[in-house]
A and B are shown apart, each in its own frame.
Chain A
């Protein structure tokens, strides 16, 4: 009997510590500055525990019933603390308010627990033994929790589920107590029903935990959101921090206004400047008009066709004052024709040929997008190139996703194109890769258009040199019926994430 009692003490202590760790970790993760976050979370938590302990003296009757109710409250607030914090961060301005409210509430409840429990047990044990045992198990529970949290809980269950799991343990202890102390308890029925209700709520939370994290993750932007819209195809979000505007499509970063010029100059000029006769240019993807802005620096280019899936995207970048300034009003230029269509099927039905094609699609994160990186797509692309024509392909990072990058190169080769891989450093992205591909040999340009912020003609040939950690690795070509690229990509980025 007594052993069972002390195990409850250890469990309660573990729960209390887990909530504190969850709050501290989430605050550090979401707000940064972990020393500050952990100090303030631990400080306010311990202080709140003191407040709880003080208030325990005002509870005089129905000790067991109060104890059970407090356990349930701790279980509920603590169990959902992590989910509530994620959602508060994603959807509200008041993350800190929610954080400290939760920490203080849990602290007060946890502060009440041990004094109440000691008073419940006081007739069963001698005072000397009682204090020794309760505190021993209290600290043992804390040790267990502090080891479990980083080793097992966070990696295996994640933050949302860990908190919910310990909420369930709290509620379990509450239910258990209604049996342990049944002789000291009057209305057991109602308490047990409440326990069951809390357990069901927490269990449901466990089942829906993934959805909660997804809902929160999709909205985790570090900066102030200045524009957000769900279109038929994607979620468009613009964030702003000082002079840095960032575009996210379905929570993938597309550009940062601080360094996008590096990306777009490197995307366009090594290829297009090498084609003095280029008249007709095609851009696939790139609805932000930033690649088009670079192409418009060539007065000899007569027509630019931009094919992007989402009319709301091209509309936004044609009309939004800030964004239209960023792309230098490229999308409303008379030489530019905007077409909203699915690129692969559009190209399949189109018979025109182009001197230069910019292929700027989202990374191959799934099998639908992966179709745009297949031998079938590149063969079709090759058929739309004029004799001297070139295509440039955005090809993810040769450093972070090395095999994916070289898989794209191999796929272009298998489609019968000559390939010229190169890379550039974009601070907000890291090392980024492109591939020039064409039917004929390529020579880097001797001159570039005037007024570029990043690229100079002499800087072009070095882009084609790869240091040791980005050198080619073996990769199968990506084909419609065997999309190895999606698997490579998933594995490459998973390795980076760990």
Chain B
């Protein structure tokens, strides 16, 4: 009797409940961890069938590796190959595409470089983005650039200033003034190597520094934590104050930006591959690098390359798994998750118009970027959102384990639940969610990173094994990856 009554009641309640959610397709994509774990566990690899003598090998087809190739090609040096583990080059500047739009898988913008960032400007001149000192408007992020969901509606910009107190505003102003002072010291440059000198700020966390400077506004703390999570995948508590300040003090944009494209930095990868594709071998995992006299034997799949010089542009921690005399891996890396959501209609929302970058206040994730934002069309009814989530809370190794332990459905639910706060009907709009898990997405500039012995050994590595990943700078941004790649190429050219 009780059970039938309960059944009756629950049936009645289901009738009242909202429409059942539509099914969502999707899965994990491009998992790199299986290959990485084979290296870590020293799994056996079949012996080579063929040996090729070649002056130089680049390991890793992300921005660092491609930038080394770009430099070689411009200097007329063409006797090299670039080996990429994945089926597609790009690393953190990979992209995907569906019938609506191309979309990024990770890095999605480059801040408009200042006059000092000569290499970045040179590249953008080559790609036609910068012509006679003028940036092409179509490559600059369209208005509106950013918005924040706060107090039940979207506001323009991501500084949380809706309903801010006078103290909040005062602290935002004071923080901007401090950043300006730090900029004037000339120590906070891009590339970082040009200005960085040993600094007591590196011994503090960003959180400690904020306290030391008596910044107490919760809004400011949220904002700075957001910046650290966004650029370093870490909380302010786990970020070196030097790096935290670098984020705010290093950039002097001469134009309202950033530079961005539907496929994010995948656009740069694409354009570089148009020029450099002939050097690139994808699906070629380097599993061993051994010394043979003055040469290096690079084993990748069933080919051994016998090279005079190797540029190791893949994440540096991988080197200790494949290479006997590589420095041990002690850098800290942040795990990330990115997801691309296909929307076949746009959700209802409240407040300021859809921007390029859309952030939800107090969310553990970082928000989403709209792939169709750079479209010239005025009417858009289908789109792709790239959802970013740096798992910053807790320890990186535990978060990496969590990333692998939970299934797609778990992450799908977590993403939709997060978005539901700002878009209650999001489940009716999304037809597909593809998820990329990046266990070692980016180097994390923890306190002490600047003066760390490990980083010094990697940057000063000489001989014929040269390191080039952005992790040499301590943080993963486009400009650092490009700088490290080009610099390694120039040192290699001196040797050859």
Contact = CB atoms under 8 A, between A and B. Distances in A.
Interface in A334-378: 342-345, 348, 366-372, 374-376
Contacts of B140: 479-481
Interface in B370-392: 375-381
Given A481-B137, A481-B256, A366 B353 contact: yes
B377 A480 contact: no
B141 interface: yes
Given A366-B353, A367-B353, A374-B137, A481 B143 contact: yes
B377 A367 contact: no
The 10 closest A-B pairs by CB, nearest first: A481-B140, A483-B143, A344-B376, A342-B377, A376-B137, A345-B376, A368-B378, A480-B137, A482-B256, A480-B142
A130 B11 CA distance: 55
Contacts of B145: 481
A370 B379 CA distance: 12
B142 A371 contact: yes
Interface string B249-266: 000000111000000000
B378 A342 contact: yes
Contact of A481 (B142, B380, B381): B142
B372 to A, nearest CB: 11
Contact of A232 (B138, B353, B376, B381): B381
Contacts of B376: 342, 344-345, 348, 371
A486 interface: yes
9 contacts: A233-B379, A342-B378, A345-B375, A367-B142, A367-B144, A372-B378, A376-B137, A376-B138, A479-B140
Interface of A: 232-233, 309, 342-345, 348, 366-372, 374-376, 479-483, 486
A483 B138 CA distance: 13
Interface string B127-162: 000000000011011111100000000000000000
Nearest to B156: A487
Nearest to A380: B376
Pick from B255, B353, B376, B381 the residue with the most CB of A within 10 Å: B376
Interface residues of B, number: 19
A206 to B, nearest CB: 13
Contacts of A479: 137, 140, 256
Contact of B377 (A232, A344, A374, A486): A344
A480 B378 contact: no
Nearest to A348: B376
Given A232-B381, A376-B137, A481-B256, A370 B353 contact: no
Contacts of B138: 376, 480
Pick from A367, A370, A486 the residue with the most CB of B within 10 Å: A367
A233 B255 CA distance: 33
A370 B256 CA distance: 17
Nearest to A341: B377
A486 B137 contact: no
Contacts of B353: 366-368
A481 B378 contact: no
Contacts of A375: 137
Contacts of B377: 342, 344-345
B60 to A, nearest CB: 32
Given A479-B256, A480-B142, A483-B142, 16 more contacts: A232-B381, A342-B379, A344-B376, A345-B375, A345-B377, A366-B353, A367-B142, A367-B143, A369-B378, A372-B378, A480-B143, A481-B137, A481-B145, A481-B256, A481-B257, A482-B256
Contacts of B379: 232-233, 309, 342, 368
Nearest to B348: A211
B428 to A, nearest CB: 17
Contacts of A343: 378
Given A480-B137, A481-B257, A482-B256, A344 B142 contact: no
Interface string B14-31: 000000000000000000
Given A367-B353, A374-B137, A376-B138, A482 B143 contact: yes
A480 B143 CA distance: 6
Nearest to B144: A367
B192 to A, nearest CB: 26
